[in-house]
Chain A
Amino acid sequence: MAESGESGAAGPASPYADPQGEPFLLTRFAVPTLPATFLARKRLSRHLDQAPGTPLTMVNGAAGSGKTLLVAQWVAGRDEPVAWFTTDAAEQGPGMLWAYMLQALVLAGVPLPADIGCPADASRVDPGLLVRLAAHLSTRDQPVIVVLDEFDRVTDPEFAEQLEFVLHHAGRGMRLVLVTRTEPLLPLHRYRAVGDITEIRDAELSFTPEEAAALLELHGVSLPLPAARALVERTRGWAAGLRLCALAAGESPDPQTYLREFEADHSVVADFLLAEVLKRQSPEKQDLLLKVSVLERFCPELANALTERDDGEAILVELHHENAFVEHLGHAWYRLHPLFGEILRAHLRLRSPGLEPELHRRAARWLRGAGALEETLGHGAAAGDWEFTAGALVDDLAIGQLFTGLRSGDLAELFSSMGPEAATPAMDLVRAARELSRSDVDRGLTHLRHAEESLGEDPAGQSTARLSCALLEALAARLTGSPGRAEVAAEAAQRLRHEVPAHLLDKHPELTALLLTHVGLAWLWAGRFEDARAALSRVAGVSGGAATALPRGDSLGSLALIDYLNGWLGRAERKALAAVTASERFSPAQPSGSDIGRLVLAAVAVDRNELDKAQLLLDVKASPRGVLRDPVTEAGRAITTGRLLLARGETRAALEAAEQAVPADVASPWAQGGTALVASAAHLAEGRPDKAAKLLRTVPDGQPACDVEVARARLAIGESVSADDLLDTLRGRAGPALIVRAMLVRAQAADQEGDHATSRSAVAQALREARRERLRRPFFEVGPWIWPLLSTAPLRGLAEGWLSPTLSPNGSPSRADDHPLPVLEELSGRERDVLQRLAEMMSTEDIAADLHVSVNTVKTHLKSVYRKLAVNRRNDAVRRAREHRLL
């Protein structure tokens, strides 16, 4: 094998999995090393040699049946690159698992294209990423062997399905080897039916009497074949049992008698043998084995920290050499054999009740010193030592990870069992962060004030805690729409950035990104566009990565909103698309990130009179985790919804949408103006010009977007306006969406005065400006007087092809069936797969074969596709899907 764990370790830190806790991470990608007493069994290696001929190989056997070492020995003799990944005990979502898979591939020396992406949300993965990965692997000349060890720990059916997708589409570029104790959630029968699987199961893994004799020989115990046969019978050829037998017998003065006694005994094999072997170890060895049983992985120093002695290295080397209890993972890291870990923990609890929390505490402290934050937090929490655990998080400047990145879910879960007992500043900060992430500002601020008070008493040091305070203050500012609070937070952060160690800021780019995003959004709310733009641009400009995907999406979306409010439709759309795709590349439907971006896309669609598209964009629900409710998003949604409803002529609903109160500390000029204008237009449409006029007077001055609309509304009510002044103030400041509207105001004013030449030339100018942006809505807003004008030359020529009175004002290009479309439920990835193939005229059977699912499954998917698209025939489904650009 070209790429062993050793050479992998030298590889660069890859962007796919978090480089924190590096030694632990690397042990997950390391091929276990073979102990000296490992018995190579030719018949099994020969069977495994068939693996490169089949896409899937499964080694499925009981704990301790020698699966892992068998595969480790086999891959050591292969020329192909080997990506080895041992799954973790913690329940993990597909996002995290794929991040590790990508990392394993990179460490195996399989280069991945830079644009392949990386999941940012532990619980999900972008289907596009899987397609890109499979497509990339399929171009390889030589397959990469991907080994997933302890695959039984993966219980997520979604991941199994995704894995199969990649395996299928990677073709000859990938060979998958699953090492597992339980039947994996893959459709094995289909692989078996076509001979696409190499399978080694318990029966084959069992030792034959000859092999058992050879194994005992390696341990220095000679056994005649009949005795070996009896032993195999007693242990059922179970590798771990035989190994323990060999160890126990080797220590006894008369091995053969010992083994005969064991055969006659009625105890549970593993249990009995483990106790036997354990009690023959020196007291130091026993102590170490019992204590490290609380750890997933350990190195000699960590073991020493637990035993409070310094003989860890010698003991571990010896234990590994004897092949007793421990496996070597490379880089001087070990783990207990999974089977014995549990039994040893049981012995530990019995012998030293109550010691477990203390051991976790010792482990947490050592790990903290070693810089392994994730594991530190895990053991700190297991010890129930929240003061230490919260302190470790805050001191590492990692508090931003509660909000963004792959671990945010795990961390929130971890701290959820923190009790309400007396607190340190760090604990208060974690509590504040948890409340604020649920948008509970009052409680969040209470905890934040507590933290600040206790920090205030101790001015020395604590800069990381103070910077964490600034981050939470900024978040509170965003959630409450408070520019003053944002100012305070930004200034504090500016000051503190020089006090905290630079390497921590580099390690946690998400902290700065989140802080600037929150501050920028608070300023955006207050109408301070230039300040907001300065802060948000810094975030949008930082290089990609899972940790900053969320704030980057937020920032791009907010910058798009500023462009939109200034009338720059095209620019707004480009940025909003970047915001949405950026966060989708990392993970579909990132909560609030693409929320703002999607709102801007919806607003742009309304301006283009693409009302169905706007509706679809507004209907996309934020994922349940997206609970950050800031006033910018809320008001943006209310105004866009109101404008869409106005365009559809649903004035009453528009009024309701606009009147939804958005609570905030200060009023936002653009939001206030925007809602007043929607309400005013709704009143006007319902024949209440006085109410409309009254509302117009509440619109704040100095907002270009509002000024234009106010002028138009005044005209509609019958008041006089100075259109030329308006245009002058806009020139050079505002984008086409506002200029076009202002020109139409001028045209309408001239029309009312009977000056048709001016009116006509203003409309012509407006058409020229609007055509590039496909800006249709303003022409519908001005009223019916414009349509006769547009049907005469030369205006007709300017409007031709993109704007015509036959466009129904209630929707985009009018359709034959004029029913309003039902609200679409988003299609699942699998349903899209089916739909895609439907569009390629494939039959149900063909689709089933292509997707490796049963015909009935395809039919089920089709049914839900039909339901979601509100159709009942194939052709209609494809047509409707095309209309909605689902294909």
Chain B
Amino acid sequence: MRYEIRVEGHMSEPLTTTFPELEHVVMSGQTVLFGHVVDEAHLYGLLARCRSLGLRVMEMRQLPE
């Protein structure tokens, strides 16, 4: 399954490397991380990673395949 996660603010390069499995684009005050998510466990792991990096998640949604 594919997901996109919108977080508040522009993520720096080092910070985006903490999500090596996802691609990202920076736009209007937000960063969008997107890509293939293996399973639920991976999904929750991503959320936890956002939390531990102090990222504010604005939106998280599944993308059509």
Contacts and interface: CB of A to CB of B under 8 A. Distances in A.
Do A and B interact with each other, yes or no?
yes
Interface of A: 62-64, 181-182, 236, 238, 240-241, 266-272, 275, 338-339, 342-343, 345-347, 349-350
Interface in B22-52: 29, 31, 49, 51-52
A271 B11 contact: yes
Contacts of A270: 53-55
A64 B51 CA distance: 10
B9 A267 contact: yes
Q: Give the one of B7, B10, B15, B49 with max A CB within 10 A.
A: B15
Given A342-B18, A346-B18, A268 B51 contact: no
5 contacts: A268-B55, A270-B55, A271-B9, A271-B11, A343-B53
A266 B18 contact: no
Nearest to B53: A342
A733 to B, nearest CB: 62
Interface size for chain B: under 10, 10 to 19, 20 to 34, or 35 or more residues? 20 to 34
Contacts of A62: 51, 54
Given A266-B10, A266-B29, A271 B51 contact: no
A551 to B, nearest CB: 37
Given A343-B53, A349-B14, 7 more contacts: A270-B54, A272-B9, A339-B54, A342-B49, A342-B52, A350-B14, A350-B17
Contact of B51 (A181, A269, A272, A345): A181
Contacts of A345: 18
Contacts of A236: 56
A267 B54 contact: no
Nearest to A270: B54
B15 A64 contact: no
Contacts, number: 69
B52 to A, nearest CB: 5
Q: Tell me which of B10, B13, B14, B29 has the highest count of chain A C-beta atoms within 10 A of its own C-beta.
A: B14
A63 B55 contact: no
B4 interface: no
Nearest to A340: B54
Contacts of A266: 9-10, 29
Contacts of B17: 346, 349-350
Contact of B7 (A181, A238, A268, A350): A268
Contact of B52 (A63, A275, A349): A63
B52 A350 contact: no
A267 B14 contact: no
B15 A268 contact: yes
Most chain A CB neighbours (cut-off 10 Å) among B31, B52, B56: B52
Contacts of B7: 268
Contacts of B9: 266-269, 271-272
Nearest to B20: A349
Contacts of A346: 14-15, 17-18
Contacts of A182: 51
Contacts of B53: 270-271, 339, 342-343
Contacts of B15: 268, 271, 343, 346
A350 B17 CA distance: 8
B14 A269 contact: no
Contacts of B31: 268
Interface of B: 7-15, 17-18, 29, 31, 49, 51-56
Contact of A240 (B10, B11, B54): B54
Contacts of B10: 266-268
Contacts of A347: 14
Contacts of B56: 236
Contacts of A269: 9, 54
A275 B18 contact: no
Contacts of A241: 54
B12 A271 contact: yes
A238 B9 CA distance: 15
A272 B12 contact: yes
Contacts of A267: 9-12
A156 to B, nearest CB: 15
A270 to B, nearest CB: 4
A343 B52 CA distance: 9
B13 to A, nearest CB: 7
Given A343-B14, A343-B18, A350-B17, A268 B52 contact: no
Given A268-B8, A268-B31, A350 B51 contact: no
Nearest to A341: B52
- 4 smallest A-B Cβ distances: which pairs? A268-B9, A270-B54, A346-B14, A271-B15
Nearest to A267: B10
Nearest to B12: A271
Most buried by B among A270, A271, A275, A339: A271
Nearest to B8: A268
B14 A63 contact: no
A345 B17 CA distance: 10
Contacts of B49: 342
Given A342-B18, A349-B17, A350-B17, A275 B12 contact: yes
B65 to A, nearest CB: 29
B14 A268 contact: no
Nearest to A338: B52
Contacts of A338: 52
A63 B12 contact: no
A139 B52 CA distance: 40
A45 B51 CA distance: 26
Contact of A63 (B11, B18, B54): B54
A816 B17 CA distance: 73
Contacts of A63: 51-52, 54
A340 to B, nearest CB: 9
A343 B51 CA distance: 12
A539 B12 CA distance: 60
A258 B9 CA distance: 18
A241 B51 CA distance: 14
Contacts of B11: 267-268, 271
Nearest to B11: A268
Contacts of A343: 14-15, 18, 53
A784 to B, nearest CB: 65
Contacts of B13: 350
B12 A268 contact: yes
A203 to B, nearest CB: 14
Contacts of B52: 63, 181, 338-339, 342
Nearest to A241: B54
Nearest to A240: B54
Contact of A64 (B8, B18, B54): B54
Nearest to B29: A266
B33 to A, nearest CB: 12
A268 B15 CA distance: 9
Contacts of B12: 267-268, 271-272, 275
A241 B17 CA distance: 21
A236 B56 CA distance: 11
A342 B19 CA distance: 11
Contacts of A349: 14, 17
A164 B29 CA distance: 43
A570 to B, nearest CB: 54
Max chain B CB contacts within 10 Å: which of A63, A269, A342, A346? A346
B19 to A, nearest CB: 10
A238 B55 CA distance: 12
B29, B31, B54 — most chain A CB neighbours (10 Å): B54
B57 to A, nearest CB: 11
A236 B54 CA distance: 12
Contacts of A240: 54
Contacts of B8: 268
Contacts of A64: 54
A368 to B, nearest CB: 30
B43 to A, nearest CB: 15
